Amino acid sequence: MNDVKIAEHIVNWMTNYAQNARAKGFVIGISGGVDSALTSTLCALTGLDVTVVSLPIHQKTAELNRADLHIQWLSENFSNVRKVTVELSATFDEMQKCLPQGSSAHFLAMANTRARLRMTTLYAIAQPLSCLVAGTGNKIEDFGVGFYTKYGDGGVDLSPIADLTKTQVRALARHLNIPRQLSEAPATDGLWEDGRTDEDQLGATYPELEWAMAYLENVPENIDETLTNRQKEVIEIYTRLNKQNQHKMNPIPVCIIPKELL
């Protein structure tokens, strides 16, 4: 992977997209993970205005510390970056009080509600600034297993790193000298108070899922019987998640009315 050329390509693509959209720059949420760290750094490299936003909702201290570390690093290295903090814990709590509670489905819905509150806030910040909301999803999340919240972190104007796997994201972050506390941090969506990681939720590591994605692209029908039990398990995990999350990855279905009925 040519890190220099890839970084230049993404920065040029973002710059051209913003100029064509007549946008002044970008707004991006900072989670304390490598995806938002890399994306915000690429945003800053465009030279356009960049607003980095911390959006804590009962966040773990370690996540907040990593987010603050990255924002400080960005501020020290780029003069076009400014910080905004919007504490959303009280808003989230008030909303939760209004809804039926107790079921496992409720807890999942409220985890996704965190992401949707953040999306709403990012757009509320971006619109008056004439800026675009930059997404932080990588290739495995956005096009492999659909590991994001519909109309939450999936609600963005552009996705700069969505054609890079997690492994490639980490490599590019190291190339750009992003602090190792971020480039090597365990991946987490920050939606659960127990601090569970992405891999806890997915049941497989990102390198395993990257392998399954590549394997199935080349061998779509007959699975090699010489694969290990773990490889077969990972393929099953990847296939199940890919199938159940197609509603996120495909365009919203439209019921087409036959012309004779109109």
What residue numbers bound the domain in which 177 lies?
Answer: 3-196
List the structure tokens of 77. 């290295």
Q: Spell out the alpha helix ranges (H) of the chain.
A: 3-20, 34-45, 61-77, 89-97, 104-129, 139, 166-175, 180-183, 198-202, 206-218, 229-244, 246-249
Residue 247 or 181, more confident: 247
Q: Does residue 111 lie within any of the structural domains?
A: yes
* pLDDT tens for each residue of 206-221: 999 999 999 998 876 6
Q: Coil, strand, or helix at residue 131?
A: strand
Residue 227 resides in a domain:
no
Number of domains in the chain: 1
Note whether residue 209 is domain-resident.
no
Q: Residue 187: give its domain's CATH number.
A: 3.40.50.620
- What pLDDT, on the 0 to 100 scale, is given for residue 221? 67
Percent of the chain past pLDDT 70, that is, above it, reads 98
- pLDDT given for residue 202 in this prediction: 92
Using 50, 70 and 90 to split pLDDT, how confident is the model at 158?
A: very high
Whether residue 244 is contained in a domain is answered as: no
Residue 258 placed within a domain: no
State pTM to two decimals. 0.92
Mean pLDDT in residue range 26-50? 96
Dump pLDDT digits (tens) for 224-260: 778 899 999 999 999 999 999 999 999 999 999 999 9
* 119, 191 Cβ separation under 8 angstroms: no
Assigned domain for 231 exists: no
For the ranges 9-18, 93-102, 234-243, which has the lowest average pLDDT?
93-102
Task: Please state whether 177 falls in left (phi above 0), alpha (psi between -120 and 50) or beta.
Answer: left
Spatial separation of the C-alpha atoms in residues 206 and 171, rounded to whole Å: 14
Residue 166 included in any domain: yes
Q: Does residue 252 belong to any structural domain of this protein?
A: no
